[in-house]
Structure 1
Amino acid sequence: MSTLPPELANLPAPSLVETISYEARLAVLRTRLVEIFTAAGIDYDVQDLETDPAQILLQVSAYQDVLLRQRVNEAIKSWFLAYATGGDLDALAQFYDVVRLASETDDALRRRVVLAIQGRSTGGTKARYRSIALAADVRVADVAVYTVGRDPTINVAVFSTSASGVADAGLVAKVDAALQAPDARMVNDKIVVASAAQQAIAISANIWLLPQAPESTLAAVEAYLRAAWSRDMLLGRDLTRSWLIAQLQRDGVHRVELVAPAADIAIPFNQAGALGAVSLVLQGREY
C-alpha cells in the first residue's frame, strides 16, 4: 500500500481520469444497437436473450472498451507524482534531478522528489538538507533537521532502516559527507550529524494463545511487531502501549498483557524509539 507525502495525500484525482463502468458502457452499446435495427425497420426484441450472438458481441466489445479506457486512465496517472510508479516515477524524478537509489521504494523516491522541489533554494533550507541526507544512502529511513535556541548549528538526526533504527557510524559518516560537500553546505553553516535513535526500548509481554494456535505463533507475532516498528515508528512518533498491544494481538493470540514499557513513551520530534530486546512469554492457552 502506497503512503503519500502530506503534500500529495489530499490532492483530488486528476479531472482527466474517467470513472469507468462496464455496465454503463454495455448499456450505451445496447441502446445504439437497437437504434440501428429500428432505423433499418427491424423489430429487435431479443436483447435480453443471453445466447443472442449480437449480445455476446456487445459484451465482448464493452469489455474491450473498458480495458482501453482503463489503460488511458493509467497513462494519464503516470504523468502525476502522486500516482506514478516504477519507471514512470523514475522519469518524473529525473526531471527534478532525483535518481532512484538501489532498492529504493516508490514511496521513498516520491518523498525525496517532493523535498527536492521544496528545497530548490540554495539558501540552506530544511527541505534541501533533508533531501540531500535522504539521498545519501537507501538505509536512511527519515531525517530531522533543526536548530536549538539561538545556536546556529544545524543538527541532523538520522533514523536508519535497520531493525533498531540506530544509524551506525558508517551511515552517519556517509550522510555527513553528503551534507558537507561544497555544493551542498552553505558557507556559514555548521552541520552536526548524529543518530536519531539513541536509546533502545525493551518490549515485554505475556501472551495467551488460542487452543488451536501453533507454537510458532509467538515467533510470527514478534516478526510482525518488528516489521510494524520499522514501518510506523519514525521520527517524533510517541510509543504508546495501545499501539504495541494492537501489533501483538495477531491471529492465534487470545490475550495480551503488556509488561514493558509500563507507560506511554513520549518521543521528541528529532528522535525515534529504537527497538530493543523483545520478550514474549507464553502463559498458556485460553478461549
Structure 2
Amino acid sequence: MSRFAALDLTTLPDPSAIGVLDFDAILEARLVELEAQLTDVFEASKVSEIMALARNIAASPMRYLTEAAAARELYLENRINAALRSVFLSTARGDDLDQIGANRGVVRKVLDDSDPDTPVLESDAAFRARIQLVIEAWSPHGTEGSYVYWALEADDRVVDVAVYGPNHGLDPPIPPAEPKMVVLSSAGDGTADAALLDAVFAHCTTDKRRPVADKLSVVSAQIVPYAIEAVLYVTTPETASAVQASAQAAAEAFVNGRIRIGRKLYRTSIAAALNVQGVVDVELISPAADVDIGPFEAPHCTGITVTLQSITGGWRDV
C-alpha cells in the first residue's frame, strides 16, 4: 500500500526494555542476595542455618517472607512491562490505544450505540490500522494511504479499500491523475451499494483531501464466492465434538482474516487452519483449487462444512 501501511506492526519484536517475567528466577536472586547479606553479619554456621530455613523449609516464616517479596517484585515488573507496551502503537490496547489515537487526532469508532450502556466499539486491530494510516492523510499529494484512510473514515461499513494508479501495472492501465478506488463492504456478501460508494466518494473528494488534479472514481469490489468443505480425520472419537468445534472456530477465524481485496486464497492455508489439535489429517474437498482473486475482487465464503471421520491409529496412540 504505502510506506506506513506496508509495515506489519505484528512482526515487530517487543521493546528491549520489556523484561521476562520469571518468578523462580526472582526468588533465586533474592535468596542469593539474602545469603550475601547474611555472610557480612553472621558466621558461616549461622548463615547455613538461616538459609536452610529460607530454601528448604516450605512452612518457615523466612521462606514465606522471601516468596512474598519475590511475588511483589514480579507484580511490579509486570506493571512496568504493561506501562512500556502502553506507549507503543504496535502493543497498546484498549484505553491506552485511545490515548495514542488522540495524540494523532483519531478517535475510535462507535459501531453500534443502540445500547448506551454497552456500545459496540471498533476493534483494536482496525483502530490501530487507522492510527497508522492517519500520517498518510496529512499529505497534500494524494498518496495511496491517504485515500485509504479517508475511505475508511467515510462509513463504518467500509471493511477494506484498495486504490490503484498508473504505477500498479494493471491491464488496462490506470491513466495518470485518475485513481480508481475499490471498496469492500461489511454488509451482505461484501458488495458496496450505490449509497455507500457515493458516501465514500463525497468524503474523499472534500476540499483539502483530494489533489485538485485527481479525477477519482469509486467502485465496489467484485465478489468471488467460495465454500469450505473438509473431512477431518481423528483417532480419538471421544473428543470429536471438541475437535469439530475447534476446527469450526479456526475456519471462521481464517475466513474473517481473509476479507481483503486482491488477496488470493490458497488451499494449503485453509488446510493448515483446519489442522487443529486432535486432527491427524485434513481432506479439503472445497475449494477444489486455489481461489484466484484479482485486484478488483474480494473473496466471500458462502459456507463452512466440517465433518469428522475416525481412523485407527494403532499402538502409537496409546
Report what 1:45 is aligned to: 48
CA distance in 2, matches of 1:20, 1:254: 35
Q: Does 1:67 align with 2:75?
A: yes
SS in 2 for 1:15: coil
Q: Which residue number in structure 2 is paired with residue 101 of structure 1?
A: 109
Partner Cα distance (1:108, 1:235) in 2 = 16
Rounded Cα–Cα distance in structure 1 between residues aligned with 2:8 and 2:136? 10
Q: Deviations over 1:227-283 (max 9, x none)?
A: 42222241221123333444566689887665554432321234212234x37497x
What is the DSSP-based 3-state SS (H/G/I as helix, E as strand, rest coil) of the residue aligned with 1:70? helix
How far 1:15 moved relative to its partner?
Answer: 2.9
Corresponding residue for residue 207 of structure 2: 182
| 1:111 and 2:129 matched | yes
Q: Secondary structure at the match of 1:141?
A: strand
Structure 2 portions without partners, runs of 5+: 111-120, 166-172, 312-318
- For residue 80 of structure 1, report the CA deviation from its aligned partner: 0.9
Q: Distance in 1 between matches of 2:283 and 2:27?
A: 56
Deviations 1:6-47 (A, max 9, x none): 343343432322333322322232223223333332512242
Q: Which has the higher mean CA deviation after the structures are superposed, 225-234 or 89-98?
A: 225-234
Find out whether 1:242 has 2:295 as its counterpart.
no
Equivalent pair of 2:224/2:297 in contact (CA under 8 Å): no
Distance 1:228 1:149 in 2: 32
Q: For 1:230, give the aligned amino acid.
A: N
The 5 Å alignment of 1:106-255 reads 106-147=124-165, 148-162=173-187, 164-196=189-221, 198-203=222-227, 205=229, 207=231, 213=240, 225-247=251-273
Per-residue deviation, residues 86-144 of structure 1 (Å, max 9, x unmatched):
11111111111111111211111111111112342111111111111112233322211
Distance (Å, rounded) in 2 between the aligned partners of 1:263 and 1:10:
29
Equivalent residue number for residue 88 of structure 1: 96
Output the CA distance in 1 between the equivalents of 2:283 and 2:193. 33
In the alignment, the residues of structure 1 paired with residue 146 and residue 158 of structure 2 have an alpha-carbon distance, to the nearest angstrom, of 15
User: Which segment drifts farther, 88-97 or 21-30?
Assistant: 21-30
User: Is the CA contact 1:236–1:272 (under 8 Å) kept in the aligned structure 2?
Assistant: yes
AA aligned to 1:26 is L
* Cα distance in structure 1, aligned partners of 2:198 and 2:177: 21
TM-score, normalization by structure 2: 0.74
Distance across 2 between alignment mates of 1:135 and 1:191 = 17
Count of equivalent residues = 279
Letter in 2 for 1:49: N
Which consecutive residues of structure 1, in runs of 5 or more, have no partner in the other structure?
A: none
Cα distance in 2, alignment partners of residues 186 and 175 from structure 1: 16
The separation in 2 between residues aligned to 1:280 and 1:36, in whole angstroms, is: 66
In the alignment, is the contact (CA less than 8 A) between 1:164 and 1:200 conserved in 2? no
Q: Distance in 1 between matches of 2:103 and 2:283?
A: 51
Task: Name which structure has the greater RCO, CA cutoff 8 Å, separation 6+.
Answer: 1
Partners in 1 of 2:248 and 2:42 — Cα distance? 73
CA RMSD of aligned residues (A): 3.2
Deviation at 1:71, TM superposition (A): 0.2
TM-score w.r.t. length of structure 1: 0.81
Specify whether residues 99 and 269 from structure 1 end up closer, same or farther in structure 2 by C-alpha distance, changes over 3 A only.
Answer: same
Aligned residue for 2:115? Answer: none
The alignment partner of 1:265 has SS state of: coil
- State the shift of 1:59 in Å: 0.7
Instruction: Give the partner amino acid of 2:293.
Output: I
Task: Note closer, same or farther for the CA distance 1:76–1:204 as it changes in structure 2 (3 Å cut).
Answer: closer
Q: Quick one: structure 1 residues 229 and 165, their matched pair in 2 at CA, closer, same or farther if it must change by over 3 Å?
A: farther
Alignment match, 2:298:
272
Amino acid at match of 2:179: I
